[in-house]
Structure formats: C-alpha cells, structure tokens
Amino acid sequence: MSIKYQKTFFLFANFLYNLSRVLPHAILSIILLSKGFSIGQISIIQSFFMIAGILLEIPSGILSDIISEKYIYQISLVFITASYMIVIVSSSFWLMCFSWFLYGVSSAGMTGSLDSYFIKDALDNDQGIKKFNIQNNYSLLLSSLLGGGIGASIYGLIHINIYILSILGFIISFVLIQVTIPFKRVEKIKRISVKELFENIRGLLKDEKTKNLVILISSYQIIAQVFFQYWQFILIQKDISAKYFGLVYVLFQFTALISNWFFSVINVSKRNYIFSIILISVLFISGLLVTNSYLVILLLLIFELPFNLYISQLNMELQNTVGSEGLSTSISVMEFTSTIVATSTLWLIAILVSKNNLFLVLGSVVIIFLVVSLIVIFNRKKIKDIN
C-alpha cells in the first residue's frame, strides 16, 4: 500500500480515535462534579495526566524511533481504553488520579508516533509538512466538533455509559491501524543508540533558536491549561446552564476549524508573535471580567483565533528546525518541557483557588504567560539583531 493511502487510513483512524476521546469532554467537568469532586480536586486529578507526560514523553519518543511508530500508537490506544474503563466503574479520588495517569501515558505515546512517521516522509518539502499538519488538524478538529456535540447531546440519555461508546471507537481505530499501516522496524544500521539520542537532544537545546522555541511552546501551555481545563467552570460561574456546554464546545471546535483554514491560506509572520500574545491575553482576561453571558462566549470564541494560529506557527517552525533523525524523540522533548509547565500551572491553580476567587487566579496566571512569552520573544529579537 502506498504512503498516500496509508496516510488516508491513518487520518481516518485518528479521526475516529479523537472523536471517541472527546465524547465526554464537553461535559467532563459535570461528570467529575457529579462524582463529588471539588474544583481543587479536579485540578489535581487532571494534573496526573501531566505527570505521566513528564515521566514518559521522552521514553515514548525513543521507543518510536527505535522500535515502531505503529506499535507505540496501538499501545497508546490500549492505555486510554483502560483509563476510560476506570471512569465508568469508580468514583474514588485516587482511582480517578490513576485513570488520568493512564490517559497521560496514552497521550505521551501518541506524541511523536504515527504523525512523525508521515512527517518524516515530508521532511524534504516544507509545504509537504504544512500540508500534512493542516490535514491532520482538520481531522482532529472535525472529530472534536462532532465528538463534543454528540457527547453533549446523548449524555442526558446514557450518562456515564458514554465512555462505553468511546471504548468501542478505540477498538475500531486499533483494528484499522493494524490492518492498514505496515510495521516498519527501524533498520539496525539506521538505529540511533539512546546515548546518541540524548547527545542529539543536548545539541538541539544548545541552539539558541530551538531553545527559545522550546520555552515559547512550553509557556503556551500556561494559557492552554487555563482555557481547556477551566472554560466550563468559567461558564458555570457566569450562570450559564450546563445544557448549553455542548453547543459552546461545538462553537469552539468550529472556531478552531476556521483558525486552521486561515493557517492553510496565509503565512503567519513570526513578527506577529508579540501582537498574537498580547491579543490572546487581553481577550481571555476580558472574558473573565465581563458579566454578560453572550459576551463571555463571544470573547472566548474570538480568543481562539489568535490562540490557535500562534501555536500552529510555533509547531511548524519547530518541525522545520529539527531533522528526520530522532524526530520522534525531539518532539517528545518539547512535549516533556511543555508538560512540566502544564502540570505546574494546574498545581498552582489548585493551591490558589482554595483561598482566592477563581477569576482572579486565572487572570493572574494569564498575565504570567504574557510576561514570560514577551521576555522570550524580545530575547529572540535581541539575539537576531546581534547576529
């Protein structure tokens, strides 16, 4: 089977995987609140997803580079299936933490697995990399739109059993990958030893451009966690009924699709990073401050446009910076640093929110993102001017 058809089947299998993954996401906070957990406890539960990433991002990349991207992808499907099974049967705080840890193990495995397999094939062509990223983004965003909408619509009918539908989707995706994607073990003469991989990592991080990219992508996780983990709590505190969460989630995904379309037809200038960061921060903080329910949702929707364009450009710049040798490991290193920041953000919020207003805490964290990102960008500009 040609690489073109393999890519088509991968995009479909990944579509199904992601649709199944996000089925409970539009009402995830409602599910966890119904199990009796507080906002602080939910933050801690979600942080175990990040802890797994810290521990396993780099090992998963090494295994993908040395063994097979296909096998790592399939093992990741097994772990997320186990995670969702625990959510069905348990309301224990520590079992929920373990469930999110398994979810994080799965996510770490997905990073730099089969997507890297196809990126490697396109490395000789910058437009090829961008084309694949755009196709993969469309697959993920469309599946998120459908999954979130369907999940929110049927949750009232089947409740926690929505996770059973997710598990069925994971099983089908596993079978599709097994049948359509060949197992390609890296040839022995082309394998990189673990020692060489870590030497590559050290060399990668010595490069000033790459180092700044790592920090920018990691800093992005601050605002990403605030948005993705707390938008439902924001709407709850703005007295917006949970029955509208599915619609809001679909609107978020639709806006993300529009962002991806913009990314596909325009070249986002790196000079616009400063403007993007300021706009992202101002829009989100404005959403926290206004009281009108419709205006809150509108501001968050507008916020998503620069939010998605910014990270899309950063990711493409990173992929163009690293070579094909050890690509999975290199991407995993970036995910590793991002996950440390994401975990720290969730723990910080969990600690502060117990004694402070949620909006005050979230606004303060967004300002941290703004300040750190601006410092890095001005540092990049200063280094470029010197050179």
Instruction: Please indicate whether residue 303 or residue 4 has the higher confidence score (pLDDT).
Output: 303
Confidence grade of residue 364 (pLDDT, cut at 50, 70, 90): very high
pTM of the model: 0.76
- CB distance 143 to 25 below 8 Å: no
| CA dist., res. 379 & res. 9, Å (int) | 43
pLDDT for position 299: 96
Instruction: Please indicate whether residue 333 or residue 190 has the higher confidence score (pLDDT).
Output: 333
pLDDT tens string 96-117:
999 999 999 998 888 656 666 6
Scan for tokens 């373990």, then name that residue.
98
Q: How many CB atoms lie within 10 A of CB 240?
A: 17
pLDDT for position 186: 44
Which range (7-21, 28-42, 254-268) has the least confidence? 254-268
Q: How many CB atoms lie within 10 A of CB 269?
A: 10
pLDDT tens string 16-72:
999 999 999 888 988 999 999 998 899 999 999 988 877 886 676 666 666 677 888
- The 3-class secondary structure across the chain, one letter per residue, is CCHHHHHHHHHHHHHHHHHHHHCCHHHHHHHHHHCCCCHHHHHHHHHHHHHHHHHHHHHHHHHHHHCCHHHHHHHHHHHHHHHHHHHHHCCCHHHHHHHHHHHHHHHHHHCCCHHHHHHHHCCCCHHHHHHHHHHHHHHHHHHHHHHHHHHHHHHHHHHHHHHHHHHHHHHHHHHHHHHHCCCCCCCHHHCCCHHHHHHHHHHHHHCHHHHHHHHHHHHHHHHHHHHHHHHHHHHHHCCCCHHHHHHHHHHHHHHHHHHHHHHHHCCCCHHHHHHHHHHHHHHHHHHHHCCCHHHHHHHHHHHHHHHHHHHHHHHHHHHHHCCCCCHHHHHHHHHHHHHHHHHHHHHHHHHHHCCCCHHHHHHHHHHHHHHHHHHHHHHHHHHHHHC
Confidence grade of residue 126 (pLDDT, cut at 50, 70, 90): low
- CB distance 203 to 216 below 8 Å: no
C-alpha closest to that of 227 among 289, 295, 304? 304
